[in-house]
Amino acid sequence: MREYFFPAVLFHAFRGRNCAEIMNKGKANGDFTERRRRIMLKLALIGKDVSKSDSAKMHTFDLKELGSGCTYELISLAKEDFDSCVKKLLAEYDAFNVTIPYKLDIIPYLKELKGDAKTFGAVNLVKDGIGYNTDGEGFMLMLKNNGIETAGKKVLVLGAGGAGRSVVKKLSDAGAQVFVYDLKTENAQELQREFGNLKVVEQLSPEDYFMIVNVTGVGMHKTEGRSPVGEDILSRCEAAVDLIYVPRKSEFLRIAETLGKKIVNGEGMLFYQAYYGDCILLGRDPDAAEAKKLFEEYRRKFAD
């Protein structure tokens, strides 16, 4: 089947007609935007190992509820295949998501960074060769909907990678006192130079943090069953948040729960960042109440 592009949408349904005809007809009828939203989008997720990702399920659900649809591929990608794969995605797909460890590697391939992607220097969504980042918005909405308020409170973030950048900046902007630890101290120091309002932790020791956030990835895939910190560190916090959602309860969260702490996994963040990204794809304004309602419906539909 031949495919026509306008703009960044695959017009499977209009084979044999050019984009100008479709656009003019839509304008004449006053419904071009609605026609575009109902088109099936060709999407994908790239990362080192995305075999267990729920992204396809979430985006398919979201877009259907928002009046559109998609095909969504999960592409686990070795470093040596990154260049050729990205070029193919940019040429043949409407948009694609980016996850660990490629949120910074993707930037040289893009024409422009917008919004939080420009602020964070990390990308989780590419559309029309433009990089976006919806991680931070998804993270903060997840905290809000779990009743966690961080303004004026001490928060320890474990990890200074792509996701860590967005988490750190959003927490800092929300008034939290942010502390960052990374096995490579220079990574945390780089964030400090860029964002300023945070403190680097060079060596972990028990402290009275309100919340500890794991953005390291330790606890999933080959490191499942491990935690980046032990009871000594978690014993003095009030809440533990892990961006991991497979397994649903990581070792990090299991330890925290055993200690009586409030725990939150990363499923909500993944869903909300997907929702914000889908709004970008459809050219619509996001709505926090709508996002929360959709997540509740999603969880009811796909309850374990």
Name the residues annotated as catalytic.
103
| Secondary structure string (H, E, C) spanning the chain | CCCCECCCCECHHHCCCCHHHHHHHHHHHCCHHHHHHCCEEEEEEEECCCCCCCHHHHHHHHHHHCCCEEEEEEEECCHHHHHHHHHHHHHHCCEEEECCCCCCCCHHHCCEECCHHHHHCCCCEEECCEEECCHHHHHHHHHHHCCCCCCCCEEEEECCCHHHHHHHHHHHHCCCEEEEECCCHHHHHHHHHHHCCCEEECCCCCCCCCEEEECCCECEHHHCCCCCCCHHHHCCCCEEEECCCCCCCCHHHHHHHHCCCEEECCHHHHHHHHHHHHHHHHCCCCCHHHHHHHHHHHHHHCCC
Q: 89 CB contacts (<8 Å, ≥6 apart)?
A: 44, 46, 96, 126
Closest CA to 136 of 108, 176, 96, 109: 176
- 291 vs 237: CA distance, rounded Å: 29
Residue type, 90: L
Q: Which residue has the tokens 């750190």?
A: 168
